[in-house]
Amino acid sequence: MEILAFGVQSDEKPLMEKAFAGHHDVRCLDVFLNEDTAPIAAGYEIISSSVNATLDNRVLQTLAAGGTQMIAQRSTGFNNIDLRVAERLGLTVARVSSYSPYSVAEFAWTLAMAVNRRIVRASNRTRDFDFRLDGLMGRDLRGRTVGVLGTGKIGEAFTRIAHGFGMNLLGWDAVENPACVALGMTYVEKDRLLAEADLISLHVPLLPSTQHLIGADALRSMKDDAILVNSSRGGLIDTEALVVELRAGRFTGVGLDVYEAEAGLFFLDKSLEVVADDTLARLVTFPNVVVTSHQAYYTADAVTQIIDTTVQNVLDYRAGRRSENVLVPAPAVS
């Protein structure tokens, strides 16, 4: 059996082929799964999708009509998949429930330090042999307060690094993480965290209840010189409201690895095109903002774990096994 994998990056392809070797053949495509590309999957029982795939009603209908029975998504998030439609169509859907939390946590800190110490501006200057320090002053983080929204595995890894910096730790989550409490974290209401934190990092999933978790009111409640980092999902932040605050001269820095309208943009080369997204175009012009293209997870360690889990999900499906990674199980055989 041959598996069809959409949205495979060039660095990812050899890892995919190696992991599937001895189990199934895999055909890797660099195009992303959406309404235009879904017909390519005709005749493939199993397809693998990437985080920026579009798996809405129309795409799922096309896949099912073409004979697809199983979707193995190579990501933890699944907000891009209409699970109700998948279940109605009898499609099995699996994801990667976890991978190296350090990849994302370390990258979140990379963004935080980049905006705090003006690394991008400094690097661009020195390329032009401009070695002035004007406008490059940052702040010590030791003794300041970090607010971690979401203290699961990634949030915990981020907190451990913050503890190493000697920061005061505030957390917000539905359930307290004992490991974070042991590090000295105090769990508080979201409003208090936003008002007191010098650095805020988001590590919660995108759900209907967390859509625009950081909206206009939340942004206004933050300190004028706060640092905001999002390496989770773009929809957690109301980007238009963020732009309004940035235009008002607020925030020491904002580091974003995700963007709520990133589908169709991120992972693609748009450098020779006119990007019609006015919000994104304005966002990247602010000197205190760093935007990267959803790369926090992109380490050899994490990608290898993601692919290995994807292979196991396929093997489990073929064997009729169900694991914690299954979002929509195979229909019962009568």
- Nearest-angstrom CA–CA distance, 38 and 43: 11
What pLDDT does residue 330 have?
66
Q: How far is CA 53 from CA 74, 118, 159, 199, 299, in A?
A: 10, 33, 31, 31, 20
Q: Under 8 Å CB-to-CB from 52, ≥6 apart: which residues?
A: 7, 32, 80, 262, 263, 264, 266, 267, 294
Q: Global pTM?
A: 0.91
What pLDDT does residue 333 have?
43
Residues of the chain with pLDDT under 50: 333-334
- Nearest-angstrom CA–CA distance, 1 and 155: 39
Q: In this structure, what DSSP letter does residue 206 have?
A: -
The reply to whether 250 belongs to the active site is: no
Q: Under 8 Å CB-to-CB from 316, ≥6 apart: which residues?
A: 94, 322, 323, 325, 326
Contact 170, 145 (CB under 8 A): yes
Q: How far is CA 21 from CA 120, 308, 311, in A?
A: 41, 11, 10
Q: Point out which residues pair with 72 in neighbouring strands.
A: 48, 94
What pLDDT does residue 65 have?
97
C-alpha closest to that of 90 among 61, 69, 59: 69
Q: Specify the DSSP element, H or E, that contains 92.
A: strand 92-94
What pLDDT does residue 264 have?
85
Q: How far is CA 125 from CA 118, 133, 281, in A?
A: 11, 10, 22
What is the number of residues in the chain?
A: 334
The reply to whether 132 belongs to the active site is: no
The reply to whether 294 belongs to the active site is: yes
- Nearest-angstrom CA–CA distance, 166 and 144: 8
- Nearest-angstrom CA–CA distance, 298 and 140: 28
Q: What is the pLDDT of residues 166-220, one digit of tens each?
A: 999 999 999 999 999 999 999 999 999 999 999 999 999 999 999 999 999 999 9
Per annotation, catalytic residue among 156, 233, 250, 260: 233
